A and B are shown apart, each in its own frame.
Chain A
Amino acid sequence: MTGMADFTHIKPGFADPVHQAQACFRTILDAMAHPGRIVMVPPPAGLAVGPLGAAACAVALTLCDFDTPVWFDAAAQPAAPYVTFHCGAPLTAEPAAARFGFAGEPAALPALHTFALGTDEYPERSTTLLIEVAGLRLGNGGVRIAGPGIVDTAGIVIDGLPARFWTDRAALAELFPRGVDVLFASGKRLAALPRSTRVQF
Protein backbone atom coordinates (compact mmCIF):
# COMPACT_ATOMS: atom_id res chain seq x y z
CA MET A 1 0.00 0.00 0.00
CA THR A 2 1.23 3.43 -0.82
CA GLY A 3 1.86 6.15 1.72
CA MET A 4 2.62 3.78 4.59
CA ALA A 5 5.86 3.05 6.33
CA ASP A 6 7.39 -0.26 5.30
CA PHE A 7 8.25 -2.57 8.18
CA THR A 8 8.80 -5.73 6.16
CA HIS A 9 12.61 -5.44 6.33
CA ILE A 10 12.64 -5.38 10.14
CA LYS A 11 13.58 -8.66 11.76
CA PRO A 12 11.76 -10.06 14.79
CA GLY A 13 12.85 -9.23 18.31
CA PHE A 14 12.77 -11.61 21.26
CA ALA A 15 9.96 -14.17 20.93
CA ASP A 16 9.59 -14.27 24.73
CA PRO A 17 10.68 -10.72 25.63
CA VAL A 18 10.55 -10.96 29.41
CA HIS A 19 12.45 -14.19 29.96
CA GLN A 20 14.91 -13.77 27.13
CA ALA A 21 15.74 -10.22 28.18
CA GLN A 22 16.23 -11.42 31.76
CA ALA A 23 18.55 -14.24 30.65
CA CYS A 24 20.45 -11.85 28.41
CA PHE A 25 20.73 -9.24 31.16
CA ARG A 26 22.22 -11.85 33.47
CA THR A 27 24.73 -12.76 30.75
CA ILE A 28 25.75 -9.14 30.19
CA LEU A 29 26.08 -8.65 33.96
CA ASP A 30 28.31 -11.70 34.10
CA ALA A 31 30.51 -10.33 31.32
CA MET A 32 30.71 -6.87 32.94
CA ALA A 33 31.62 -8.38 36.32
CA HIS A 34 34.30 -10.56 34.79
CA PRO A 35 36.32 -8.72 32.15
CA GLY A 36 38.42 -11.23 30.27
CA ARG A 37 35.62 -13.75 30.23
CA ILE A 38 33.82 -14.47 26.97
CA VAL A 39 30.14 -15.20 27.41
CA MET A 40 27.66 -16.54 24.91
CA VAL A 41 24.29 -14.83 24.60
CA PRO A 42 21.52 -17.30 25.41
CA PRO A 43 19.63 -18.89 22.52
CA PRO A 44 17.76 -18.21 20.33
CA ALA A 45 20.58 -16.21 18.89
CA GLY A 46 19.74 -16.33 15.22
CA LEU A 47 19.40 -12.57 15.05
CA ALA A 48 21.81 -10.55 12.95
CA VAL A 49 21.08 -7.14 11.52
CA GLY A 50 23.54 -5.46 9.20
CA PRO A 51 27.02 -5.87 10.66
CA LEU A 52 25.65 -6.50 14.17
CA GLY A 53 25.57 -10.14 15.21
CA ALA A 54 23.32 -12.01 17.59
CA ALA A 55 25.08 -10.84 20.76
CA ALA A 56 24.95 -7.18 19.73
CA CYS A 57 21.25 -7.42 18.82
CA ALA A 58 20.43 -9.14 22.10
CA VAL A 59 22.28 -6.41 24.03
CA ALA A 60 20.27 -3.75 22.22
CA LEU A 61 16.95 -5.53 22.83
CA THR A 62 17.82 -6.00 26.49
CA LEU A 63 19.29 -2.64 27.48
CA CYS A 64 17.92 0.04 25.15
CA ASP A 65 14.62 1.80 25.69
CA PHE A 66 13.03 5.21 25.21
CA ASP A 67 15.33 6.68 27.88
CA THR A 68 18.56 5.75 26.12
CA PRO A 69 19.58 7.74 23.04
CA VAL A 70 21.46 5.41 20.71
CA TRP A 71 24.22 6.19 18.25
CA PHE A 72 25.23 4.05 15.26
CA ASP A 73 28.39 4.40 13.23
CA ALA A 74 28.10 4.47 9.43
CA ALA A 75 28.56 0.71 9.10
CA ALA A 76 25.94 -0.08 11.75
CA GLN A 77 23.27 2.24 10.28
CA PRO A 78 21.29 -0.70 8.82
CA ALA A 79 20.62 -1.82 12.41
CA ALA A 80 19.17 1.56 13.45
CA PRO A 81 15.55 0.89 12.33
CA TYR A 82 15.66 -2.45 14.13
CA VAL A 83 16.64 -0.90 17.44
CA THR A 84 14.29 2.08 17.16
CA PHE A 85 11.36 -0.20 16.28
CA HIS A 86 11.86 -2.80 19.00
CA CYS A 87 13.27 -0.62 21.78
CA GLY A 88 11.69 2.75 21.01
CA ALA A 89 15.10 4.30 21.60
CA PRO A 90 15.71 7.78 20.13
CA LEU A 91 18.49 8.04 17.57
CA THR A 92 21.28 10.56 17.95
CA ALA A 93 23.99 11.51 15.49
CA GLU A 94 26.08 12.95 18.33
CA PRO A 95 28.28 10.40 20.15
CA ALA A 96 28.37 12.64 23.24
CA ALA A 97 24.55 12.49 23.52
CA ALA A 98 24.36 8.70 23.31
CA ARG A 99 23.80 6.29 26.20
CA PHE A 100 24.57 3.39 23.88
CA GLY A 101 26.82 3.41 20.84
CA PHE A 102 26.88 0.64 18.27
CA ALA A 103 29.91 0.41 16.02
CA GLY A 104 30.04 -2.01 13.11
CA GLU A 105 33.43 -0.91 11.79
CA PRO A 106 36.09 -0.74 14.53
CA ALA A 107 38.66 0.81 12.17
CA ALA A 108 36.44 3.89 11.71
CA LEU A 109 35.64 4.33 15.40
CA PRO A 110 35.57 7.98 16.55
CA ALA A 111 38.00 8.93 19.35
CA LEU A 112 36.72 7.58 22.67
CA HIS A 113 36.66 11.01 24.34
CA THR A 114 33.98 12.15 21.87
CA PHE A 115 31.47 9.86 23.61
CA ALA A 116 29.71 10.80 26.84
CA LEU A 117 32.09 10.25 29.76
CA GLY A 118 29.66 10.98 32.59
CA THR A 119 30.45 13.44 35.35
CA ASP A 120 32.28 13.00 38.64
CA GLU A 121 28.93 13.10 40.46
CA TYR A 122 27.16 10.88 37.92
CA PRO A 123 29.78 8.72 36.21
CA GLU A 124 27.06 6.35 34.99
CA ARG A 125 25.79 9.04 32.61
CA SER A 126 28.29 7.84 30.04
CA THR A 127 28.09 6.01 26.75
CA THR A 128 28.29 2.24 26.77
CA LEU A 129 29.96 1.41 23.51
CA LEU A 130 29.33 -1.87 21.75
CA ILE A 131 31.84 -2.75 19.05
CA GLU A 132 31.25 -5.62 16.66
CA VAL A 133 34.69 -7.10 15.98
CA ALA A 134 35.95 -9.72 13.55
CA GLY A 135 37.07 -12.15 16.23
CA LEU A 136 37.12 -12.50 19.99
CA ARG A 137 39.03 -15.14 21.93
CA LEU A 138 40.96 -15.67 25.11
CA GLY A 139 44.68 -16.29 25.12
CA ASN A 140 47.99 -14.71 24.33
CA GLY A 141 48.83 -12.54 21.36
CA GLY A 142 46.47 -9.71 22.24
CA VAL A 143 46.39 -7.61 25.39
CA ARG A 144 46.66 -8.60 29.04
CA ILE A 145 44.11 -7.09 31.34
CA ALA A 146 43.89 -6.74 35.11
CA GLY A 147 41.60 -5.16 37.63
CA PRO A 148 38.33 -5.83 39.46
CA GLY A 149 36.76 -9.15 38.49
CA ILE A 150 40.00 -10.64 37.19
CA VAL A 151 42.15 -13.04 39.16
CA ASP A 152 45.76 -12.06 38.47
CA THR A 153 45.68 -11.15 34.77
CA ALA A 154 43.80 -12.40 31.71
CA GLY A 155 44.73 -12.42 28.05
CA ILE A 156 42.23 -11.51 25.39
CA VAL A 157 42.62 -11.23 21.63
CA ILE A 158 40.34 -8.81 19.83
CA ASP A 159 40.65 -8.95 16.05
CA GLY A 160 40.28 -5.87 13.90
CA LEU A 161 40.61 -3.30 16.65
CA PRO A 162 42.91 -0.38 15.70
CA ALA A 163 45.87 0.33 17.99
CA ARG A 164 44.63 3.87 18.62
CA PHE A 165 41.67 2.42 20.56
CA TRP A 166 44.08 1.40 23.31
CA THR A 167 45.92 4.74 23.39
CA ASP A 168 42.53 6.56 23.45
CA ARG A 169 41.42 4.39 26.32
CA ALA A 170 44.66 4.87 28.24
CA ALA A 171 44.23 8.64 27.91
CA LEU A 172 40.84 8.41 29.62
CA ALA A 173 42.20 6.42 32.59
CA GLU A 174 43.14 9.54 34.58
CA LEU A 175 39.53 10.80 34.40
CA PHE A 176 38.26 7.83 36.45
CA PRO A 177 35.46 7.46 37.63
CA ARG A 178 34.47 9.14 34.36
CA GLY A 179 35.01 7.03 31.27
CA VAL A 180 33.49 4.73 28.69
CA ASP A 181 32.48 1.10 29.22
CA VAL A 182 33.01 -1.06 26.17
CA LEU A 183 31.39 -4.30 25.08
CA PHE A 184 32.95 -6.37 22.32
CA ALA A 185 30.67 -8.61 20.32
CA SER A 186 31.50 -11.12 17.66
CA GLY A 187 28.57 -13.19 16.46
CA LYS A 188 27.15 -14.82 19.57
CA ARG A 189 30.23 -14.03 21.67
CA LEU A 190 30.41 -11.12 24.05
CA ALA A 191 33.14 -9.69 26.29
CA ALA A 192 33.22 -6.56 28.41
CA LEU A 193 35.93 -4.01 29.04
CA PRO A 194 34.62 -1.75 31.79
CA ARG A 195 36.46 1.49 32.62
CA SER A 196 37.86 -0.08 35.79
CA THR A 197 39.94 -2.61 33.83
CA ARG A 198 43.63 -1.85 33.35
CA VAL A 199 45.36 -2.88 30.16
CA GLN A 200 48.98 -4.06 30.01
CA PHE A 201 50.85 -4.51 26.75
Chain B
Amino acid sequence: MSGSPDTADKISALGYGPEARQWWLAVMAKATLPELEQAWTEVPDKPDFRVLRAPEIGLAMVRGRIGGTGAPFNMGEMTMTRAAVQMLDASGTACFTGFGYIAGRSARHAELVAIFDALLQDPRHRQPVLRGLIVPLAERHEAGRAHKAAKAQASKVEFFTLVRGE
Protein backbone atom coordinates (compact mmCIF):
# COMPACT_ATOMS: atom_id res chain seq x y z
CA MET B 1 0.00 0.00 0.00
CA SER B 2 1.34 3.41 -0.85
CA GLY B 3 -0.07 6.79 -0.05
CA SER B 4 -1.39 9.37 -2.42
CA PRO B 5 0.97 12.20 -3.38
CA ASP B 6 -0.85 14.39 -0.87
CA THR B 7 -0.13 12.17 2.09
CA ALA B 8 3.42 11.50 0.97
CA ASP B 9 3.97 15.24 0.76
CA LYS B 10 2.53 15.61 4.22
CA ILE B 11 4.93 13.04 5.66
CA SER B 12 7.97 14.70 4.10
CA ALA B 13 6.75 18.16 5.15
CA LEU B 14 6.20 17.12 8.76
CA GLY B 15 9.49 15.27 9.05
CA TYR B 16 9.75 13.18 12.19
CA GLY B 17 9.41 15.85 14.84
CA PRO B 18 6.65 16.51 17.36
CA GLU B 19 4.20 17.59 14.63
CA ALA B 20 4.49 14.27 12.82
CA ARG B 21 3.94 12.50 16.10
CA GLN B 22 0.85 14.56 16.85
CA TRP B 23 -0.45 13.64 13.42
CA TRP B 24 0.00 9.87 13.71
CA LEU B 25 -1.34 9.86 17.28
CA ALA B 26 -4.47 11.68 16.07
CA VAL B 27 -4.87 9.31 13.13
CA MET B 28 -4.61 6.24 15.36
CA ALA B 29 -6.93 7.72 18.01
CA LYS B 30 -9.63 8.05 15.34
CA ALA B 31 -9.05 4.54 13.96
CA THR B 32 -11.13 1.56 15.03
CA LEU B 33 -9.78 -1.16 17.29
CA PRO B 34 -10.01 -3.94 14.63
CA GLU B 35 -7.96 -1.81 12.23
CA LEU B 36 -5.16 -1.49 14.78
CA GLU B 37 -5.38 -5.14 15.88
CA GLN B 38 -5.08 -6.22 12.25
CA ALA B 39 -2.05 -3.98 11.70
CA TRP B 40 -0.42 -5.32 14.86
CA THR B 41 -0.70 -8.91 13.62
CA GLU B 42 1.07 -7.81 10.43
CA VAL B 43 4.10 -6.23 12.16
CA PRO B 44 7.15 -8.38 11.44
CA ASP B 45 9.85 -8.99 14.10
CA LYS B 46 7.74 -7.70 16.95
CA PRO B 47 9.95 -6.19 19.64
CA ASP B 48 9.23 -6.75 23.34
CA PHE B 49 7.27 -4.18 25.29
CA ARG B 50 6.66 -3.50 28.92
CA VAL B 51 3.77 -1.52 30.31
CA LEU B 52 4.92 1.76 31.82
CA ARG B 53 1.45 3.06 32.64
CA ALA B 54 -1.30 0.47 32.49
CA PRO B 55 -4.37 1.74 30.59
CA GLU B 56 -6.37 4.07 32.82
CA ILE B 57 -9.71 5.74 32.24
CA GLY B 58 -10.25 9.36 33.17
CA LEU B 59 -12.03 12.53 32.25
CA ALA B 60 -10.80 15.47 30.21
CA MET B 61 -12.47 18.86 30.04
CA VAL B 62 -13.32 19.83 26.50
CA ARG B 63 -13.26 23.56 25.88
CA GLY B 64 -15.24 25.26 23.18
CA ARG B 65 -15.36 28.62 21.43
CA ILE B 66 -18.85 28.70 20.00
CA GLY B 67 -20.06 31.79 21.81
CA GLY B 68 -20.61 35.04 19.97
CA THR B 69 -17.46 36.60 21.37
CA GLY B 70 -15.21 33.60 20.74
CA ALA B 71 -14.16 33.33 24.36
CA PRO B 72 -13.23 29.80 25.48
CA PHE B 73 -15.58 28.07 27.89
CA ASN B 74 -15.87 24.61 29.44
CA MET B 75 -18.17 22.69 27.16
CA GLY B 76 -18.20 19.44 29.07
CA GLU B 77 -16.14 16.48 30.17
CA MET B 78 -15.40 13.47 28.00
CA THR B 79 -14.14 10.02 28.90
CA MET B 80 -10.57 9.30 27.85
CA THR B 81 -8.27 6.34 28.18
CA ARG B 82 -4.49 6.64 28.22
CA ALA B 83 -1.60 4.21 28.34
CA ALA B 84 2.18 4.27 28.05
CA VAL B 85 4.49 1.44 27.02
CA GLN B 86 8.25 1.10 26.66
CA MET B 87 9.83 -0.78 23.78
CA LEU B 88 12.69 -2.99 24.93
CA ASP B 89 15.85 -3.57 22.91
CA ALA B 90 17.62 -6.92 22.64
CA SER B 91 19.27 -6.45 26.04
CA GLY B 92 15.93 -5.71 27.72
CA THR B 93 16.49 -2.00 28.34
CA ALA B 94 13.83 0.52 27.38
CA CYS B 95 14.66 2.32 24.13
CA PHE B 96 11.43 4.08 23.09
CA THR B 97 8.39 5.20 25.05
CA GLY B 98 5.02 5.25 23.32
CA PHE B 99 1.92 7.07 24.53
CA GLY B 100 -1.71 6.50 23.59
CA TYR B 101 -4.63 8.80 24.37
CA ILE B 102 -8.04 7.93 22.95
CA ALA B 103 -11.62 9.01 23.41
CA GLY B 104 -13.76 6.41 25.15
CA ARG B 105 -13.01 3.46 27.39
CA SER B 106 -11.16 0.95 25.22
CA ALA B 107 -8.04 -0.04 27.16
CA ARG B 108 -6.71 -2.16 24.31
CA HIS B 109 -7.13 0.69 21.82
CA ALA B 110 -5.07 3.03 24.03
CA GLU B 111 -2.43 0.34 24.51
CA LEU B 112 -2.15 -0.35 20.76
CA VAL B 113 -1.83 3.37 20.01
CA ALA B 114 1.00 3.52 22.54
CA ILE B 115 2.68 0.45 21.02
CA PHE B 116 2.52 1.90 17.51
CA ASP B 117 3.72 5.28 18.77
CA ALA B 118 6.84 3.55 20.09
CA LEU B 119 7.26 1.60 16.82
CA LEU B 120 6.99 4.83 14.83
CA GLN B 121 9.86 6.35 16.80
CA ASP B 122 12.08 3.41 15.89
CA PRO B 123 13.80 4.02 12.52
CA ARG B 124 13.64 0.27 11.77
CA HIS B 125 9.85 0.15 12.00
CA ARG B 126 8.87 3.71 11.05
CA GLN B 127 8.53 3.43 7.27
CA PRO B 128 6.61 0.11 7.17
CA VAL B 129 4.19 1.32 9.85
CA LEU B 130 3.69 4.70 8.18
CA ARG B 131 3.06 3.11 4.78
CA GLY B 132 1.08 0.13 6.00
CA LEU B 133 -1.04 1.70 8.73
CA ILE B 134 -0.96 5.45 9.21
CA VAL B 135 -1.24 6.61 5.60
CA PRO B 136 -4.12 4.24 4.67
CA LEU B 137 -5.93 5.18 7.89
CA ALA B 138 -5.48 8.88 7.22
CA GLU B 139 -6.72 8.47 3.65
CA ARG B 140 -9.73 6.43 4.71
CA HIS B 141 -10.54 9.02 7.32
CA GLU B 142 -10.16 11.85 4.81
CA ALA B 143 -12.32 10.00 2.26
CA GLY B 144 -15.02 9.53 4.90
CA ARG B 145 -14.90 13.23 5.71
CA ALA B 146 -15.08 14.18 2.03
CA HIS B 147 -18.03 11.84 1.51
CA LYS B 148 -19.89 13.35 4.45
CA ALA B 149 -19.06 16.86 3.32
CA ALA B 150 -20.30 16.05 -0.20
CA LYS B 151 -23.58 14.70 1.15
CA ALA B 152 -24.01 17.77 3.30
CA GLN B 153 -23.10 20.00 0.37
CA ALA B 154 -25.81 18.37 -1.80
CA SER B 155 -28.47 19.31 0.73
CA LYS B 156 -27.33 22.91 0.95
CA VAL B 157 -30.17 25.36 0.47
CA GLU B 158 -29.58 28.83 -0.92
CA PHE B 159 -31.78 31.41 0.69
CA PHE B 160 -32.57 34.48 -1.31
CA THR B 161 -35.32 36.97 -1.60
CA LEU B 162 -36.95 37.70 -4.93
CA VAL B 163 -36.99 41.30 -5.88
CA ARG B 164 -40.43 42.52 -5.17
CA GLY B 165 -41.99 44.23 -8.11
CA GLU B 166 -42.92 47.75 -7.34
Given contacts A1-B16, A1-B21, contact A9 B94 (CB under 8 A): yes
**Stretch of B36-44, B48-56, B154-162 that contacts chain A:** B48-56
B52 contacts A2, CB within 8 Å?
no
Report the contact-size class of chain B (Cβ under 8 Å from the partner): 10 to 19
B96 contacts A8, CB within 8 Å?
yes
State A9–B96 Cα separation when bound (angstroms): 10
Q: Which residue of chain B has the shortest Cβ distance to A10 in the bound complex? A: B52
Q: Does B17 contact A (CB under 8 A)?
A: yes
State A17–B84 Cα separation when bound (angstroms): 14
Q: Does A16 contact B (CB under 8 A)?
A: yes
Q: Does B97 contact A (CB under 8 A)?
A: yes
Pick the contact of B97: A3, A7, A14, A17 (CB < 8 A).
A7
State A4–B54 Cα separation when bound (angstroms): 21
Q: Does B95 contact A (CB under 8 A)?
A: yes
Q: Does A12 contact B (CB under 8 A)?
A: yes
Which residues of the other chain, A, contact B50 by a CB distance below 8 angstroms?
12
State A180–B50 Cα separation when bound (angstroms): 38
CB-CB contacts below 8 Å: B1-37 with A: 16-18, 21
Which residues of the other chain, A, contact B95 by a CB distance below 8 angstroms?
8
A4 contacts B96, CB within 8 Å?
no
Within the complex, the shortest CB–CB distance from A6 to chain B, in Å, comes to 8
Within the complex, the shortest CB–CB distance from B21 to chain A, in Å, comes to 7
Q: Does B106 contact A (CB under 8 A)?
A: no
Q: Which residue of chain A has the shortest Cβ distance to B96 in the bound complex? A: A8
Binary contact track B71-88/A, C-beta < 8 Å → 1, others 0: 000000000000010100
Given contacts A1-B121, A7-B84, A8-B94, contact A14 B17 (CB under 8 A): no
Given contacts A1-B17, A3-B18, A8-B97, contact A15 B52 (CB under 8 A): no
State A14–B53 Cα separation when bound (angstroms): 8
Which residues of the other chain, B, contact A17 by a CB distance below 8 angstroms?
54, 56
Which residues of the other chain, A, contact B51 by a CB distance below 8 angstroms?
12, 15
Q: Does A149 contact B (CB under 8 A)?
A: no
Which residues of the other chain, B, contact A2 by a CB distance below 8 angstroms?
17
A4 contacts B18, CB within 8 Å?
yes
Q: Which residue of chain B has the shortest Cβ distance to A16 in the bound complex? A: B54
Binary contact track A1-45/B, C-beta < 8 Å → 1, others 0: 111101111101111110000000000000000000000000000
Q: Does A169 contact B (CB under 8 A)?
A: no
Which residues of the other chain, B, contact A16 by a CB distance below 8 angstroms?
54
Can you report 11 residue pairs joining A to B where beta carbons are below 8 Å apart? Answer: A1-B16, A1-B17, A1-B21, A7-B86, A8-B86, A9-B94, A12-B51, A12-B52, A13-B53, A17-B54, A85-B53
Known: A3-B18, A4-B18, A12-B51. 17 other contacts (CB 8 A): A1-B21, A1-B121, A2-B17, A3-B17, A4-B21, A7-B84, A7-B86, A8-B93, A8-B94, A9-B94, A12-B52, A12-B53, A13-B52, A13-B53, A13-B54, A14-B54, A15-B54
Q: Which 10 A-B pairs have the closest CB atoms?
A: A7-B97, A8-B94, A12-B52, A8-B97, A1-B121, A3-B17, A17-B54, A3-B18, A1-B16, A12-B50
